[in-house]
Amino acid sequence: MGNLEHPKSQIAENGDLAPPPYSEVVPEYHSRSATQPGGIPNVSSNTVLTLYRPLPSILDAHYQWRISTIFHLGSITDKRLFAVAVHTGLSGKGPGRPGVILHNGPTDKDPMLAAAGDENGNISSLNSIITLARPSGGASNENYTEIMHAATSSGTATFRFSTETGHKQGVRREDFEWRKSKGDQDKNLVDSPWKCGFKLLRLSNRSGKDANLGDGASQGSTSGGPEVVAIFAWNSNWSVMNPFRIEFRESGQTGELGEKFAVIAIITGLRLWTLKHQGRTSENTIASREAELAGLYPELQTRLTGREINE
């Protein structure tokens, strides 16, 4: 997955990585970044969506011991492939308000690939704004923005988004959904000490028709349901330094879905990590907000599952 590696500056090894604090230290570089309306962190308009290195099939989160708002995604052999910057918004600095930013390199001075944050800075919103750098060689110089919507379906939390997949000769638009795992239903998807937190389902099959949205997707096959194209797993050993990983599966691993899919899968996975720590991946929390919105907007009473919210 990805393009040929370009030379990158090396980083001195400072040991393993640590969780970002609730304070914010932002380099001057960020003040030159673009900001999207609503205070959502954005990527600079002069960056393009081209990975500087091929993506491994598994990306682990690596935190550092020192106090920092930066952690890394990397492989077993190279822990610092991509820097991730977390902005709390408390300082009012940085490329916008609260959010998470994925950089195309091992430091936060490398170009930004993608960013994610609350819609209009509203933490009660069910929508997350996902912004990607403009496509390489595209006709537009504008950044690429999608919405990820939280909902409840079949007794679990879901986070759905759409994106373009494929390559220049065969680009198409497809729907995907991060579905929260419950109980032991997906325990066979990952090996110990990892535990499946969410699985990313490809909701459209290769012919472009909607796949059956049943729960038969656990083995990554479209035969019994949507294809599982990525896993977001927690470390069941409660590791502070290596708390989660993103693992690509099936067509998500082969590269046939393209780099744009790979980047949006990573940034939405990082967004889930943020929402989890805010208690916003709870089914009860999401259902309560859905009920509130249904009361404000009666046309929203028909839920994604097709069931009606009782008044």
Is pLDDT larger for residue 158 or for residue 209? 158
List the Cα angle 199/200/204 in 5-degree steps: 135
Q: How far apart are CA 149 and CA 54, in angstroms?
A: 29
Contact 151, 309 (CB under 8 A): no
pLDDT classification of 141: cutoffs 50, 70, 90: low
**pLDDT tens track for 175-214:** 999 999 987 879 899 999 999 999 999 998 654 444 444 4
The strand pair at 58-62 and 48-49 is best described as unpaired
Ranges 53-62, 106-115, 234-243, 281-290: which has the least confidence: 234-243
**CA-atom Rg of the chain in angstroms:** 19
pLDDT classification of 36: cutoffs 50, 70, 90: very low
Mean pLDDT of the chain: 76
pLDDT classification of 69: cutoffs 50, 70, 90: confident
Predicted pLDDT at 238:
78
Is pLDDT larger for residue 228 or for residue 222? 228
**pLDDT tens track for 72-92:** 999 989 999 999 999 876 554
Indicate if the pLDDT at residue 35 is higher than 80.
Answer: no
Q: How far apart are CA 221 and CA 201, in angstroms?
A: 10
Residues 257-275: what's their mean pLDDT? 95
Q: How far apart are CA 206 and CA 37, in angstroms?
A: 35
Predicted pLDDT at 90:
57
pLDDT classification of 236: cutoffs 50, 70, 90: confident
Predicted pLDDT at 22:
26
List the Cα angle 68/73/74 in 5-degree steps: 125
Indicate if the pLDDT at residue 12 is higher than 60.
Answer: no
Ranges 40-44, 54-58, 65-69: which has the least confidence: 40-44
Predicted pLDDT at 254:
94
Assigned token pair, 63: 């935190």
Indicate if the pLDDT at residue 268 is higher than 90.
Answer: yes
Q: For residue 132, what are the contacts with CB-CB under 8 A and spacing of at least 6? A: 43, 49, 113, 114, 143, 144, 145, 146, 260, 263, 264, 267
Predicted pLDDT at 187:
86
pLDDT classification of 124: cutoffs 50, 70, 90: confident
* Number of Cα atoms under 13 Å in the Cβ half of residue 85: 31
The strand pair at 134-135 and 48-49 is best described as parallel
What is the number of other CB atoms lying within 10 angstroms of the CB of residue 189? 20
Predicted pLDDT at 101:
94
What is the number of other CB atoms lying within 10 angstroms of the CB of residue 167? 12
Is pLDDT larger for residue 120 or for residue 101? 101
**pLDDT tens track for 290-309:** 998 888 766 555 554 444 44
